[in-house]
Structure 1
Amino acid sequence: MTEHRNNPGTGQGGERRNHKGRQRSRGQNRSGQPRQFSKAAPSQRRRSADPARLTAFRVLRAVSRDDAYANLVLPAEIRRAKLDKRDAGFATELTYGTLRAHGTYDQLLAQCVDRELSALDPSVLDALRLGAHQLLAMRVNTHAAVNETVGLVRDQIGAGPGGLVNAVLRRLSEKTFDEWITELTQGQSEEEAVALRHAHPAWVVRALKQALRLHGRGDDLADLLAADNAAPEIHLVGLPGMAEEAGQKHLAAAVEHGAVPSQLIDGAAVFRGGDVGRLDGVREGQLRVQDIGSQWIARALAEPAVQPAEKWLDLCAGPGGKASLLAALAAEFDVTLTANEPAPHRAELVRKALSPVAERAWNVRTGDGRTIGQDAPGPYDRIIVDAPCTGLGALRRRPESRWRRRPSDLAELTVLQEQLLDTAADVLAPEGFLAYVTCSPHPAETVAQVQDLLRRRPELELLDAHEVMADVALPQGAELINSRPAVTDPTAARCVQLWPHIHGTDAMFFALLQKTD
């Protein structure tokens, strides 16, 4: 009898190819049984990348390799691939879902790989994460999830890693997400188990839990984590004060195309209709994407009676979201805004963001905000310090950031926040207003900073930020702001903490202070 070492076999005993040409991996599975034959013969396997999955893969590679932001890269990749609305939606969910659950999927994949994940080629690991999300969190059947991911790998990386990816994903598909989580969380603390299930680092879960308790919402942790993992809505603002009310007209046109007017504040809308870049006014900058919480705070700072010829300052203006709205409001009140940004390339973004507004209403300074007293000393009647922070309040919009940040980042950031606040207090005019804002609810970056500032600066008085936010809100927004829970900390009680699961905004913090004479 002829020996068939190198020929397809009949699938008997140790042969690796059955009579249909389907192949079986070498060795045994974890139960000691021979591995199963593949679902398809080699000639039937996908060897090209599906465009939607390829788009998601390219975004993941940009995030992993270049520290890019997915929300900036994804729209360009969707346009590059010329995806229709359905495929664009699939690519968006696959991209953001994979990035959100990155850390959790890595722990699950580690149970299915016979080496450290760090030993894998980074591009292969990104492909495995995409496959994991399809298997465990999307309505994609197992065969399609595995076959399409292997095809992507063969097309973009090479034939060699295809077998590894196939084997790992098939092993992963043997259990549901809940079954994997139950297995991996045995013996873990409650916080560690919650962190793994909801795809947040444990230190972030602890910080959010502490912040919720501080603001009287100690039972909301699961709701907040779920909101962090939900697909974010797009918020729009029509800039006020434009020629012929262009901003509001563009906002009204967006509503005709499916946007829903905000129930919280005027001049804002929620858009769920796809590529916002296709809306009229976005390219011109008169209609802008900006979280409603950010809009709300900017309008609140401009709420107390504005006097003629006031000088306003945005101390940390880049990339220009709040600054553009503040500049438009400044133009309406016939006052001027100085927008400060230390990084030259981001200062250019600020100029571009402010360009739709009359130039008489604004100017841009490029420099360290901590030195503004040297060449632009003011005094300023209204100052917003939207300080650099951990960004824990925008995890739903920047899903990759939860895995980039480390607890050690707090030390550097809180020192910078303190220095910027002291600079702002130095250049604030008597009776002037200072808004301290962070896109993070972390107590060390919010209430603790305000408490320390008040100790250092007895000339500052902490106002009740709820009152000014309610004054610029629509009835539903005012009701939400005023229906705050009882808070024992007196500083926290006078500050506003927005939440995605309650207000539908990023978890932004807002404190409003006034300088006494």
Structure 2
Amino acid sequence: MSAADDRRDASGRQRGAARSQGRTQRSAAAPSRRRRGSDPARTAAYDVLRSVDGSDAYANLVLPPLLRERRISGRDAAFATELAYGTLRLRGRYDAIIAQAANREVGTIDAPALDVLRLGVHQLLGMRVPAHAAVSETVGLAREQLGTGPSQFVNAVLRTVGRASSEEWQDRIAAAAGDDELGRLAVVQSHPLWVVRALREALVGNGRSADEIEALLAADNEAPRVTVVARPGLVDQEQVVEETEGAGLVGALARTAVVLTGGDPAALPSVRDGRAGVQDEGSQLVALALTEAPLDGPDERWLDLCAGPGGKAALLAAVAGERGARIVANEVQPHRSRLVEQALRAVPADAVEDVRTGDGRTLGADGPGSYDRVMVDAPCTGLGALRRRPEARWRRTPADLAALSALQRDLLVSALQAVRVGGVVAYVTCSPHLVETQLVVKDALRAAARTGTDVERLDTPAVVRGIAAGGVDLDDERTDVQLWPHVHGTDAMHLTLLRRTS
């Protein structure tokens, strides 16, 4: 390729033959006129965004090993984490701002240049980075990664963005949305419009006010604190708090939860050896609810139908070990089965009957009436965990719901077959979407009834209140539980407890 072929115009688009996205491109400028190298933290954040865009990777799986590999730690690691995650969360807002500042649609900007711009805008409007540093460092990143032409474009756009505050820019993009209230919320709070509509419907469908939608969307954009689970019988809350050396607080809801105010959870001895693990407090609470749900008859054999990657399975197994029960952990994907085995490494061997790889939809027919307690933590859109997986909001579409809800229904029907009469099933999703929660349960109960399986709904709010460490805001008019980030400070976990009666 000739030097002419590698030129880029001021928009960031390359002239001539295409180069693969994300590939490092060196500026032809004299060394004295360009940066010697990019800031490692910003480069790491950029590489995460390129992986998310280019290979559908998940940021929470890409960033930690990347930081370890490049030996980025301490404040630099925290900076890279906030830069990458914050940019992904607020991508919709920043794209609207970039479009105004550049006076062009973001779809006409090359993806690598757009990612650099997003990183720069987040530093200007979403982080405590001085404007001159945000611009100069991001332009240096653009020069190193993309070349001189795109760096000039990045410089021009960021200087325009820097002339107004975050609040002023939000007013501008809100005004551009016109009188459409949900459209305004979608762009300002950085959620796809279909997600905003679905979440508002979920609020109303769970007895809450539609007016809470803005608070919910805002909570999705807040970086959550890391929560650790102290697995019963292996380590207790107080021990984990002591390990944090002042950087840990007892959770507000789950008796097993420790909320970190700082530090790396992987540095805790109990996390390193598997006696504890990173797990959202809402996820802990719904798992504990299954262990305390009232059942009739023996309580000896439990099943986690969709166990990967193993967080709930490890908590259930720890409680089972305290009671003399055993757990079977089933996972359909072999690599996730290995993650389950890793999560269970500290649990006494006699508490784990088996970690098996198989299709949970057939398990009920293969072993009907074999279990006393069954967890169905069904695959879902993940709309309840947008704080932790910010890219999910941009990756999911309404078309995903049909396939997922059919799978969820089949898994729940299988669980109702697998549980014995008098036993209990917990249906859990990390999504509040009504199609994935209430409608799935209704469909599954109808399908079970056609096979002669009778099921009753348990008073799930009463069970959750009975195990919660403090007061918990729940709707007593419902038999299921829906947690919310803006109300409970957890992921938006759904829980329905069911008992088989015949």
Q: Report the TM-score, using the length of structure 2 for normalisation.
A: 0.87
Residue from 183, 188, 192 that aligns with 1:192 = 183
Residue from 233, 236, 246 that aligns with 2:228 = 236
What CA RMSD, in Å, does the superposition of the two structures yield over aligned residues?
Answer: 2.3
Match of 1:10 in 2: none
Match of 2:443 in 1: 452
2:410 pairs with 1:415:
no
Match of 1:162 in 2: 151
1:284-363 aligned within 5 A: 284-304=273-293, 308=298, 310-362=300-352, 363=354
Residue from 383, 386, 396 that aligns with 1:395 = 386
Residue from 64, 76, 86 that aligns with 2:65 = 76
1:248-305: per-residue Cα shift (whole Å, max 9, x none)? Answer: 5751433434100113221221012122111112121111011111111111111146
CA shift for structure 1 position 452: 2.6
Please tell me the residue identity of whatever aligns with 1:448.
L
Match of 1:515 in 2: 500
Residue from 177, 181, 187 that aligns with 2:170 = 181
Compare 360-369 and 191-200 and name the one that shifted more: 360-369
CA shift for structure 1 position 104: 2.1
1:126-275 aligned within 5 A: 126-186=115-175, 187-218=178-209, 219-242=211-234, 246=235, 250-275=239-264
CA shift for structure 1 position 467: 1.2
Please tell me the residue identity of whatever aligns with 2:305.
L
Q: Percent identity?
A: 52
Match of 1:498 in 2: 483
Distance 1:304 1:447 in 2: 19
1:361-412: per-residue Cα shift (whole Å, max 9, x none)? Answer: 2211101111113544452111111111111111101111111111111111
Distance 1:184 1:309 in 2: 57
Match of 2:460 in 1: 465
1:18-33 aligned within 5 A: none
1:484-506: per-residue Cα shift (whole Å, max 9, x none)? Answer: 3575xxxxx11111111221111
Question: Given that residues 239 and 247 in structure 1 are in contact (C-alpha distance below 8 angstroms), is that contact kept between their aligned partners in structure 2?
Answer: yes
Match of 1:440 in 2: 431
Distance 2:325 2:244 in 1: 31
Match of 2:38 in 1: 49
Question: Given that residues 62 and 68 in structure 1 are in contact (C-alpha distance below 8 angstroms), is that contact kept between their aligned partners in structure 2?
Answer: yes
Please tell me the residue identity of whatever aligns with 1:367.
G
> Unaligned stretches of 5+ in structure 2?
1-9, 12-29
Residue from 363, 369, 393 that aligns with 1:372 = 363
Match of 1:405 in 2: 396
Q: Report the TM-score, using the length of structure 1 for normalisation.
A: 0.85
Question: Given that residues 45 and 147 in structure 1 are in contact (C-alpha distance below 8 angstroms), is that contact kept between their aligned partners in structure 2?
Answer: no
Match of 1:385 in 2: 376
Name segments (4+ residues, structure 1) moved above 6 Å: none
Match of 1:490 in 2: none
Please tell me the residue identity of whatever aligns with 1:446.
T
Question: Given that residues 47 and 150 in structure 1 are in contact (C-alpha distance below 8 angstroms), is that contact kept between their aligned partners in structure 2?
Answer: no
1:330-360: per-residue Cα shift (whole Å, max 9, x none)? Answer: 1111111111111111111111111211222
CA shift for structure 1 position 74: 2.1
- Give the 3-state SS of the residue equivalent to 2:350 in structure 1: helix
Question: Given that residues 308 and 333 in structure 1 are in contact (C-alpha distance below 8 angstroms), is that contact kept between their aligned partners in structure 2?
Answer: no
Compare 81-90 and 91-100 and name the one that shifted more: 81-90
- Give the 3-state SS of the residue equivalent to 1:437 in structure 2: strand
Distance 2:475 2:404 in 1: 29
Question: Given that residues 301 and 325 in structure 2 are in contact (C-alpha distance below 8 angstroms), is that contact kept between their aligned partners in structure 1?
Answer: yes
Question: Given that residues 330 and 357 in structure 2 are in contact (C-alpha distance below 8 angstroms), is that contact kept between their aligned partners in structure 1?
Answer: yes
Please tell me the residue identity of whatever aligns with 1:52.
A
Distance 1:70 1:148 in 2: 22
- Give the 3-state SS of the residue equivalent to 1:445 in structure 2: coil
- Give the 3-state SS of the residue equivalent to 1:433 in structure 2: strand
Compare 335-344 and 253-262 and name the one that shifted more: 253-262
| Count of aligned residue pairs for this structure pair | 466
Larger Rg: 1
Distance 1:505 1:277 in 2: 21
- Give the 3-state SS of the residue equivalent to 1:471 in structure 2: helix
Question: Given that residues 255 and 261 in structure 1 are in contact (C-alpha distance below 8 angstroms), is that contact kept between their aligned partners in structure 2?
Answer: no
